[in-house]
Chains A and B, each alone.
Chain A
Amino acid sequence: MYSASDLKKGLRIKIDNEPYIVTEFNFVKPGKGQALYRSKLRNMITGAQFERTFRSVDTFEPADLEQKKMQYLYQEQGKYCFMDNESYEQVFLTEEQVGEAKNFLTDNLEVEILFFEDKALEVSVPNFVDLVVIRADPWAKGDSVSGKTKPVTLQTGYQIQVPPFIEEGEKIRVDTRSGEYLTRVKD
């Protein structure tokens, strides 16, 4: 059980049997008044955001969330399909739920899916993924100046800035947390 003063950004709580994540949280206190906690919450199922002010006597249940290792299979009409390798159970996430991770999903990639009871909510991809460059402008003269980058397109459709020597068909490693290029990968 949490009390209002335990709330912080990123904490996941249960309200009316649905999981919420705290996206903003501030201590406020009107002159001579009681301490209040002004928060922004996001419903982890519907994505709906709203503001709510809690009093210090308010309490919350933690949201019971579970992470499962699953494999990414395919995407169809905005639905992303993942499979549990042991039970062969399949779950779907919407494009909105997948969010930024869609830039890094390749067939059979092992990911973690966050569940609330039986509902799949979110996907986390590994911190580093290797992706193939499918479109790149050729290396022009004068591009070797240090610090210069060029845009390329990766197999997932993700556009990224890379050093000028990277060419079409090469594989690169990307940090999924920052979305940035790390290094060239030789198979």
Chain B
Amino acid sequence: MEEDGGLAKKREALWKRARMIRAIRNFLTDRDYLEVETPHLIPSVIPEAHIDAISCAGGFLHTSPELHMKRLLATGYPRIFQICKCFRGGELGPSHLPEFTMLEWYCRSMDYRELMKECEELIVSVAGDLGCGDVINYQGKAIGLQRPWESISVREAFACYAPMSMDKAVMENCFDGIMVSRIEPRLGIGQPTFIYDYPVSGSALAKEKKEDFALAERFELYMGGKEIANACSELTDPKEHQRRFLNVNKYRYSAGKSIYPVSERFLEDMASMPQAAGIALGVDRLAMIFCDSSAINEVVSFVPEFL
């Protein structure tokens, strides 16, 4: 590694990143979203099967601002957004940092389909502000932003690209492996892709589809084979919340991972949770796309190896 951790070479990327974040703020503020700040150091996190929180001072650093943003939503803040650092233990790779920047926004009365449209509009608007026009060049390939973007259900994606059906993959516990090796590399090539209707088993706090309880109203956005955002119609039933937390903690316990206490206040607030949709977008990942970077390290100032 260079002596300054490559800082001098990052000037252009850091400027672009800053302009991108400003463009995101402008877009959401113009649509009457309230920018909020929720605590990073919290007594408990929402249990997720494969996300490990970092303990700190008797509590945890949040793994996403979801818990407290939903409490705001439930207590009468209908449109909110936040851009903040999130912390996840053990995640370090070309697209992962244990401390990274997330954008989350939530909107009352929306469902995941409407949120897909708003996500599309946000990225097109940011690209416009950055002077990209309607094509982004990423790693030698063009990503066209002309709408509508490609959208494919998870079930269809398995039928097209995988050696077995989605249901079989879930049953045989190879859903993630096929996703990573066969499906993700085909998504967001040529144009951004929304992939939607995930199995409910891996969807944390997403609402089930009315027509098919095995599926969740959840989507992910991919650009250039890279996962950019995860969104869903939010679960509103406090009992179902409790049931899912318990199941996840059971799984974590059996896998030898630490379990997370459930926030009683969160469950109480969920009693008044309105119908809403929410989305979490990786700011560093989006910066990678706009900066044409193959490694997340290129779009953040300091990386763990250089602290």
Contacts and interface: CB of A to CB of B under 8 A. Distances in A.
Contact of B202 (A27, A33, A35, A57): A33
Contacts of A28: 93, 95, 180
A32 B48 contact: yes
A34 B49 contact: yes
Contacts of A26: 93-94
A5 B95 CA distance: 16
27 contacts: A5-B90, A26-B93, A26-B94, A27-B91, A27-B92, A27-B96, A28-B95, A28-B180, A29-B50, A29-B91, A29-B96, A30-B180, A31-B220, A31-B230, A32-B49, A32-B50, A32-B203, A32-B204, A32-B230, A33-B180, A35-B90, A36-B176, A38-B180, A38-B181, A53-B177, A53-B180, A55-B177
A33 B204 contact: no
Interface in A1-27: 5, 26-27
A154 to B, nearest CB: 33
Contacts of A32: 48-50, 198, 202-204, 230
Contacts of B95: 28
Interface residues of B, number: 25
Nearest to B229: A31
B103 to A, nearest CB: 15
A33 to B, nearest CB: 4
Interface in A43-84: 53, 55, 57
Given A5-B90, A38-B181, A53-B181, A33 B176 contact: yes
| Among A26, A29, A36: residue with most chain B CB under 10 A | A29
A28 B95 CA distance: 8
Interface residues of A, number: 16
B195 to A, nearest CB: 9
B66 interface: no
A27 B89 CA distance: 13
Nearest to B219: A31
| Among A30, A35, A36, A53: residue with most chain B CB under 10 A | A30
Interface string B81-112: 00000000011111110000000000000000
A55 B177 CA distance: 8
B179 interface: yes
| Among B90, B180, B198: residue with most chain A CB under 10 A | B180
Nearest to A51: B181
Nearest to A55: B177
A108 B17 CA distance: 59
A26 to B, nearest CB: 5
Contacts of B92: 27
B298 interface: no
A29 B226 CA distance: 11
B208 interface: no
Interface string B167-210: 00000000111011100100000000000001000111000000
